[in-house]
Amino acid sequence: MAAFRGCGVDNAFVEIDANEVPILDGSSQPFIEILEEAGVQVQSQPRRAIRILKEVTYQEGDKSVTLSPSQVPVYTGQIDYDNPAIGSQRYEKGRLVYAATRGDGYEGEDITANVKVVDDIPKALNGSFPDVLEVRGEVYMARSDFLALNKKQEEEGKPSFANPRNAAAGSLRQLDAKITAQRPLMFFGYALGEVGRTGVLTPVARLEPITVGGVVVSNATLHNEDEIRRKDVRIGDHLTIQRAGDVIPQVVNVLLDK
């Protein structure tokens, strides 16, 4: 199975009574939980760093992933709150209209009503924004808030939660949004993009307002992930901006001397 091969596990026999979720399409959490239950032997010797010397492509059905060598190593870090992800948080004309869990990569649970009562998630956007915007992130509960919630649960004779993750997940999936509104939930966004007419997500750079060709610009297209990496665009960079076709603001390059 792709998920186990990706983890370096080659001595496991897996029996499954449903279709496997492709590793490129959905969450591998069920497989991770199985590994945790089975136990993992920790090796004492240090693991060697892997360097890609030639392009490698892995194909699974109609999906594929390619690893390509790079002259400059790139390190990426992200906070992992280990909590339920909001797979699709959709804004249309600046207003939150739909939210769903990540689900299995194909379908998620509609949690729009509950997301709208989480104070940490804006229901309307300010400033300049595209007509349609998709935001992804994590809903979580701070440990201090979790302890306070459990204390309140005990005082009211209600069952307590095992951990912050269960508390956040249960709060987000309540049938009654009023209960969700009472829970101390927080949101951490880690990805956003503009949705084009064909459904393609386009990353957008947020800029300090600047006049380009007689028009005040505060957003510029970054085209796609490959372009971001090629131009090495980072938060806080000084950029050269132009209006493609005298219409669409786009990032030309990073000013390295700034």
pLDDT at 40: 56
pLDDT at 114: 93
Please report, for residues 39, 89, 134, the alpha-carbon distance to residue 34 in angstroms, rounded to integers and kept in the order given.
9, 30, 32
Q: How many CB atoms lie within 10 A of CB 228?
A: 15
pLDDT at 26: 45
CATH superfamily of 85-193: DNA ligase/mRNA capping enzyme (3.30.470.30)
**Tens digit of pLDDT at every position of the chain (258 positions):** 444 444 444 444 455 444 444 444 445 555 556 555 665 555 555 555 556 667 767 677 766 666 666 666 555 555 666 556 676 788 888 899 989 887 655 567 889 999 999 999 989 887 767 788 888 888 889 889 999 999 999 999 999 998 888 898 889 888 899 999 999 999 887 765 555 555 566 788 888 888 887 778 888 888 777 888 888 888 888 989 888 767 778 888 999 887
Model pTM above 0.75 = no
pLDDT tens-digit profile of 17-54?
444 444 444 455 555 565 556 655 555 555 555 566 67
pLDDT at 181: 94
Domain ranges of the chain: 2-67, 85-193, 203-254
Question: Taking every pair of C-alpha atoms in the chain, what is the biggest distance, in angstroms?
Answer: 65
CB 116 within 8 A of CB 86: no
pLDDT at 21: 47
CATH superfamily of 203-254: Nucleic acid-binding proteins (2.40.50.140)
Q: What b-and-e string marks burial along 42-77, b requiring 16 or more CB atoms within 10 Å of the CB? A: eeeeeeeeeeeeeeeeeeeeeeeeeeeeeeeeeeee
